[in-house]
Structure 1
Amino acid sequence: MSIPGTGQDPTLRWGFGLGGASLPLLRRLLAAGLIDRIALPPQPGEGISAQPETTPPRANECDWAARSLGELLASEWPRSQAFVAVGACGAITRLIAPLLGDKTSDPAVVVLDPAGRYAIPLIGGHAGGAEVLSQRIAAVLGGEAVLTGASSGDGRLALDSFGRAWGWRRGSGDWDALMKGFARGEPIAVAQQAGNGRWRQLDAAQGLLSEPESVEQDHPQEAAVARRLVVAAERGDGCRWHPPSLWLGVGCERNTSLSLLERMLDGALAEQGLAAEAVAGLASADRKADEPALLQLAERRGWPLRCFEAEALNAVAVPNPSAVVAAELGTASVAEAAALLAAGPGAQLRLGKRIERPGAGERGAATLAIAAAASQWAPQRGQLHLIGSGPGSLELLTPDARRALAESHVWVGYGLYLDLLEPLRRPDQLRSDGQLTQERERCREALEMACQGLTVALISSGDSGIYGMAGLALEQWMALEAGDRPGFTVHPGISALQLAAARAGAPLMHDFCTVSLSDRLTPWAVIEQRLRAAAAGDFVVALYNPRSRGRDWQLGRARELLLEGGRPAQTPVVLARQLGRQEEQVSLHTLGDLPLEQVDMLTLVLIGNASSRVAGGRLVTPRGYPGAELA
């Protein structure tokens, strides 16, 4: 059982323009979820041209006519995450200049030209996330992100911000010195003791030096070097990223004070030299799932709370079991067992059970144990995008899919499909190739990384929800506990069926169906049953996976079944191969003379119904079925 915590104050992303002509552009970004609110310019006669009267304000749009734009920005600046401005860079710079504070705390500001061709991260490129936001905006608008930062311009990793994409929290260190040294080409040494290490495979991470895992113990003087990047659960010297790898097991008396729990946790982490940013979550017994102080602590710190049944806790071997606890709760351990159970296979106990007594004005008592997980875990930070890449051409990739690809820091898919998308991949995005027949393994890999807190794209050709990866991934996602599930979004794509129909003419003007001839996941007897039903119903039929080297007879048998079911031999058939790619071939045939040997797994077979006909090299299925009138 998992209870997610939030612990995050809401932050706004504003969009505004210096004229009414910017409103359609901003509304596109609002619809795409890239901004939360639009500030409209004053009405005509107040010095700035306003939006046309035909486009009145909608929800999430406010008029700043009652006060100046500068006043609006000043009031919203401290609590906003980002501002997207449409206008000249100079004018926007002068507007925000009085508000600028520190680059680590200022919100992101992205400037767009009125046509939406260029997205420029003006300030907050790394810490504020302006570069990432620019890339997402460019993907939605079909424009270009103009990145001028030293790391981005050279295709190198932004060391002071990249860890967020990998589900980590940034810790202490002289980050300014690290980034300036990196920009000058000085060597950067990396030591990693926790978290997902696949970021080292990034194109943008090449050139970083590795240190032995024991460098801090063996060379304490070297550990103080500023130009070191350390990925670990511990606090210390160097610039630190903290993966979510620590689980805090907590047991407490009923109605224990929140202040007692916080004092206990903060003190233990400090004593052990562990970073609070490395905490993955809290763990306890299921009888504590409604404990007020535990729930408040989870909410305040943004830590999920995982609770386990006594039987599961009692099965965990712990160094400090308690007969008293066993008699009362049915398990000899709560804190240690819960921490180890939540941390999963390979977990190590970093702190054995300790007891905290109440201080002045406090109630209750509590126990704490800390376990380190073998892998990081933060599904509340993760997102799994199921992306349909279309038939092959980047021109046929939907804007929604482009945005999801831009947001994702890991792309998982079959190598051929990833090759087609390769021109869109950035050096800071990891490509993970899979084998054609290993769909379940690819789903598992993508879901595991999303559960670690990463944003992952699981890519199919065509539409992910049509013979793609969406179904397999969703089954695995649904098998997780509700609190262990990362975000899950399916992004539609243009299917091979749609493009084949467009190339052939208009064959889908009446009822149609699709049938896959692959019997790898479906028994052939079931496929034959569906083919007979399609013939009896006189559907236009699209055949996917029609023929391969190991399955060279199924297409011939499908033709036999359709002919036996009453489909005339002169029924028109479209063979569409390599759709949307340079090798695209589309040809017209009849069911009786279908050239089976020309068909392979890169071909879609589209078979007309009784009313389909060909004229002028085009295939059409009339809207009106024989015997019926088209109103």
Structure 2
Amino acid sequence: MEVNPPIAIILLNESGRSTANQLQALFPEALVHGLTGRVEQADLSFQQTALHLQELFRTKTPIIGICASAILIRCLAPVLSDKLIEPAVVAVADDGMNIVPLLGGHHGANDLAKEIAAALKGHAAVTTASDVHYDIALDSPPEGLAIANPQHLKSFMGALLSGGKIKLVGHHDWIAHSNLPFSDEGQLSIEITTKSRNGNDHSLIFHPKTLSVGVGCERNTDPAELIELVKTVLDENHLSPLSVGCVSSIDVKSDEFAVHSVARHFGMAPRFFDAEQLEKEAPRLKTPSDVVFAEVGCHGVSEGAALAAAGEKGSLIVAKNKSKRATTAIALAPMPLNSEKIGSIQGKLSVIGMGPGQDPWRTPEASSLIAEATDLVAYGLYLDLLGTSIAGKIRHDYGLGEEETRVRAALDLAAEGKNVALISSGDIGIYAMATLVFELIDREKQTNWDRLEIQVTPGISALQAAAARAGAPLGHDFCTISLSDLLTPWEVIERRIEAAASGDFVISFYNPVSLKRRTQLHAAKEILLRHRPKSTPVIIARNLGRDTENVSFVPLVELDPEKVDMLTLVMVGSSESQITETNSGNKRWVYTPRGYAGKMDISTLKTGTQE
């Protein structure tokens, strides 16, 4: 299922900050994109306005530009091509009083402009002819209704605006309640039907999404087989694929790739029912099966799922059809189906690294997954750092030391059919929760956990953040070592420090100290001093990416473990690591040479230019 990117609110100057704040309150999932050097705080920053806008447009991201219309027009002109697939682009004045839908008027821009105008008490300058004359945009039907022949809209609208009348076949409130000129003798026609039809320049076909497709299959069925079965059954019964409003099955198939593939083929996510829910449909089944009941606990999967999704007033219009390893059935609902409110989804667990805490250091993928989630599981401080981006979501706060409890809760919530985000600072795969997720799944073999969709997304680790703030200390081979002996015996840690020290790796020490552990960093310092110079630079990085961030350098011999706390990462350079300075602000930098200088010397020797 294609997921639309969150709205991008483009802020070019602080003069539009108040309007940007109001827009983000109106659209909580939206991200403020700020121009570097002119905008102080933003969810995402950019440096080149035209290139950034063009990239957003190419990825079909809805754009609200708090700027002059001309800026958006000039920036986006080079990438304009197909009006049928362009995203919504809206220009909003700094004060929010004038709102102009520029592109994608019938792909959400007109409605977006009207919604903004209502919230900001401004004026929406909608100029598309069908909206002005008939208070309807035929190329922008509401959810639950699809147009079959958009290629004929231009000529149809031309005939309509020239005085044509419309004969209406079928019914849909959106069309019936418009100001379109209807007449039983109309030369033009609009038909609302689930049947496959060919429209033309004088006939528009709309398909209500009232068909419920139930599917079942054997484990690891080829997705192509199930997709072809559903397509064939629709075709044989002269039913339009555009009328499919839901694809559903039994919950034991929630992790079946073929089921997800057929739903994705129709542009949606599959929905699932448990055996008890499907068995309630037994009296309405046309082909009940005792064999199926013995196997999964209900007398029919595909017919039962189709009926359950269509609701009590729905009816089975196509009984179970079979292929070699799959089945499908189709029910008709009295009203368009909203699949998101039917049954349950496959539970999803997003395992997210949010970085050190700064919004600009959180990846767009992490922000997107957090926006999609219904439930957030984390140490409470991490959720606080996310600010308004988690408004309206259910928080599940846990304290330090409750890692396993935290992960179990996330897995169990996802197993209930929820979209759960398990969040950690830094990179969640480095000394964090991701490992425990897979360890518990592997160890306990719980069926409901095995069916989950799991996605791990990286975050900027303390290692990367410290290196970036310091310069380039990771220019050559490096490693990380946790000094916490809560889960790893100190003897093992000590051997690893010795090996890394003798191998001359740059070493990042995670968990260097705690309130109870005060000796490990002292011991690590002693080992390192036996292998590298006393002057080796050590980076002490505390609270990276936060207001109280502090990064300092000391020679290895002067490292004082008593001045290090649990919020600090300690990075010790190799014997090759150097400190240099730049004039701007008398800034000091640490870097570890890769060997380019030696390579250049050899190169110049070969060309004969070296004396």
TM-score (normalised: structure 1): 0.48
Greater relative contact order (Cα < 8 A, sep 6+): 1
TM-score (normalised: structure 2): 0.50
